[in-house]
Amino acid sequence: MAKKKQSEPASQAKVGVYVCYCGGNISDAVDVEKVCAQARRVPGVVVARSNMFMCSDPGQEMIIEDLKSGRVDHVVVASCSPSLHETTFRQALIRAGANPYVYEHANLREQVSWVHHGDEATEKAARLVAAAAAKAEKLTPLDPIRVDVQRRAVVIGGGAAGLKSALELAERGLEVTLIEKSPFLGGQVAQLERLAPWGESAADIVSTLAGAVIRHQAITVYTCAQVEGFAGYIGNFKLTIMRQPPAGAAYADRLERLSQAAASLGEYVPFVGVMPAAIPEGREEVDLDAGVIVLATGFQPYQPRTGEYGYREFPEVVTLPEFIRLAAEATTEGDTLVLHGRPIKSLAMIHCVGSRQIPGIHEENEGGYLNEYCSRTCCSATLHAANLIRETYPATRVFDFYRDIRTYGRGQEELYTRAAQNRVVFFRFEAGEEPEIIKNPGPKGQPLRVKVKDVLTFGEELEVPVDLVVLAVGQEPANVADLVEKMKIPVGADRFLQEVHPKLRPVEVAVAGIMLAGTCQAPFDVGETCAAAGAAAVKAAAILTRGYVELDPFVAEVDLSKCKGTGACVAACLREGALEMVEKEGRQVAQVNPALCLGCGACVAVCPE
């Protein structure tokens, strides 16, 4: 357990109080300077200062300077929620050479300024600061809990994010095990031909990444593998993976394409990926130990319901991923796109299919949920495809139906400009008045018509005859419910895996030692995915290369002289493995695993002693 360090008597503690304006979030309701003035009258407080943003570099330097000069030796920061910045200020104490546990946090935003106003807010803020200062005066330095770390990472997912993370970790001299549930590496990127906005070859990207991973001596790749068992904690995770031959029509189709290509192991096949090893003949169980885990489980394209924009009702309605594959296999002779022997003289593309769905307007999926988020990448992918069609097949007309267009990244706004120059015709519709796909009632002309009330022409109702309708489907998180349950990973309202904080800890989850990489946490394009994967690898490598990790010492402690071994604490414990009954001196007593203990106090509440 953590041991208290020797310190001066509490009466000699010199407490510094630092109150944050929070850019108006606090100061709009709280008189910050009045709170500082009252804090100076609290016994033990020797300094009370304010700053517009205490979490900024100047704010932290103010604290560090006072600590280094010896002016203060205990610290109170009164700002926003401790879940956001308690770690930030503890790190500031460490940089000043002080113990991080002689620090106390007062929440003046969520507990004061966001719920009170006027004199009441200022008075409550002053009381909270006074209480925090009184507590800080009595704090004694603590030693963190040190846990040894196994120098191995497990990366789950063999798409672009998983490959990038594995390679980055291996290049830092660390052992890596990559787990992929399918027989192929490449993920969703392998299902593309070229990437928006610059038109890079998906084959080149997957081949480069997968080839480097397969050849690297520090990386072990297990395909056709899924996690069956999970236990442990940061530095000492234990996983059991099960390898078995894949099943399902999707895998059968990709295996058939692989067979037709007559490709050898390690060779890239378009719309398949790279098969690094032969498929296992039967079930095989493998046990793995790891210091950290990187989740790169990716996404899946939204699958429209039967009848949604005519999908599965009309063979001429396809999704954008399906169209990309069809177009890649089309013959390039002539100036008209030809698919399966049928000329496509006019083509409609519809945005926001499976994204930005509105309760009460759009129909829920079979699972009873709506995708209310924007998938971000669909607009650029759609415009990129439209430009390719217009520039390769100038006799094929392209009609673009959109609610809004989001081309947010570098070089992506140019896709819209280029589409206009390529004479792509745009129609804008409002939410709830989406285009309707109907069959052409006559024997001549295009097989389908797109009915729309066009906002750009002040609500004029139009019918556009087309040979093909392409649905720009959004991104949905891959189904990893089994991993979420086993690892106790938080999931957001959008069903993507949730990071601790999008700015402060963007690739970490609440479970220490588990990182997120790529589209398992949000819709990203390939560039953003690789950047996020690199960030996850850096965070993981920082833990592994150090060889140990230090954890906060706020954990339960068992008084063995009083423990009667009832086991009530184990039954009440919220974290599996944090408490267990062991035999000591011929009797059963409770034992705490400090690396797993949440410090919640549930065990204390039920202990009869």
Q: How wide is the angle at C-alpha 454 spanned by C-alphas 451 and 455, nearest 5°?
A: 155
Strand 225-233 versus strand 219-222 pairing type? unpaired
Is this prediction's pTM over 0.85?
yes
**pLDDT reported for residue 332:** 75
Closest by CA position to 557, among listed 521, 599, 509? 599
| 284 C-beta neighbours (distance < 10 Å), count | 13
**pLDDT of 7 strictly over 70:** no
Q: What percent of the chain has pLDDT over 90?
A: 86
For 479-534, write each residue's pLDDT tens digit: 999 999 999 999 999 999 999 999 889 999 999 999 999 999 999 999 999 999 99
CB 449 within 8 A of CB 418: no
**pLDDT of 8 strictly over 70:** no
The residues, any chain, with a CB within 8 Å of residue 391's CB and separated by 6 or more, are: 422
For 178-190, write each residue's pLDDT tens digit: 999 999 999 999 9
What is the rounded average pLDDT of the residues 357-381? 92
Task: Tell me the two tokens of residue 454.
Answer: 């066009």
Closest by CA position to 174, among listed 276, 297, 291? 291
For 451-465, write each residue's pLDDT tens digit: 999 999 999 999 999
H/E element, 509: none
Using DSSP, state whether 506 is helix, strand or coil: coil
Strand 194-195 versus strand 425-428 pairing type? unpaired
What is the rounded average pLDDT of the residues 328-337? 87
Task: Quote the DSSP letter at residue 110.
Answer: I
What is the rounded average pLDDT of the residues 472-478? 96
| 305 C-beta neighbours (distance < 10 Å), count | 14
**pLDDT reported for residue 365:** 83
The residues, any chain, with a CB within 8 Å of residue 174's CB and separated by 6 or more, are: 151, 152, 153, 218, 541, 544, 545
**pLDDT reported for residue 254:** 87
What is the rounded average pLDDT of the residues 350-378? 93
Task: Report the distance separating Cα 210 and Cα 221, nearest Å.
Answer: 10
CB 158 within 8 A of CB 180: yes
Q: How wide is the angle at C-alpha 72 spanned by C-alphas 68 and 74, nearest 5°?
A: 110
CB 173 within 8 A of CB 196: no
Q: Which of 108-112, 211-215, 244-248 bottoms out in mean pLDDT, i.e. has the lowest? A: 244-248
| 136 C-beta neighbours (distance < 10 Å), count | 25
**pLDDT of 62 strictly over 70:** yes
Count of CA atoms in the C-beta half-sphere (13 A) of 582: 12
**What band does 576 get if pLDDT is binned at 50, 70 and 90?**
confident
Q: What percent of the chain has pLDDT over 70?
A: 98
Please report the beta strands in 95-248, taking only residues with DSSP state E, as ranges in sequence order: 103-107, 145-148, 152-156, 175-179, 194-195, 200-201, 219-222, 225-233, 236-243
Using DSSP, state whether 36 is helix, strand or coil: helix
| 548 C-beta neighbours (distance < 10 Å), count | 11
Task: Report the distance separating Cα 312 and Cα 305, nearest Å.
Answer: 8
What is the rounded average pLDDT of the residues 170-177? 97
What is the rounded average pLDDT of the residues 245-260? 86
Task: Report the distance separating Cα 489 and Cα 585, nearest Å.
Answer: 38
For 581-591, write each residue's pLDDT tens digit: 999 888 999 99
**pLDDT of 4 strictly over 70:** no
**pLDDT of 9 strictly over 70:** no
At 398, which amino acid appears?
Answer: V
Task: Tell me the two tokens of residue 331.
Answer: 């013959």
**pLDDT of 135 strictly over 90:** yes
**pLDDT reported for residue 366:** 80
Beta-bridge partner residues of 77: 18, 105
**pLDDT of 3 strictly over 60:** no
At 339, which amino acid appears?
Answer: L
**pLDDT reported for residue 11:** 52
For 285-298, write each residue's pLDDT tens digit: 999 999 999 999 99
How does the average pLDDT of the chain come out, rounded? 94
Closest by CA position to 496, among listed 529, 522, 475, 473? 522
**pLDDT of 568 strictly over 90:** yes
For 35-61, write each residue's pLDDT tens digit: 999 999 999 999 999 999 999 999 999
Q: Which pairs with CB-CB distance under 8 Å and at least 24 residues apart come from 536-539?
A: 536/161, 536/165, 536/294, 536/296, 536/507, 537/164, 537/165, 537/168, 537/169, 537/172, 537/294, 538/168, 539/507, 539/508, 539/515
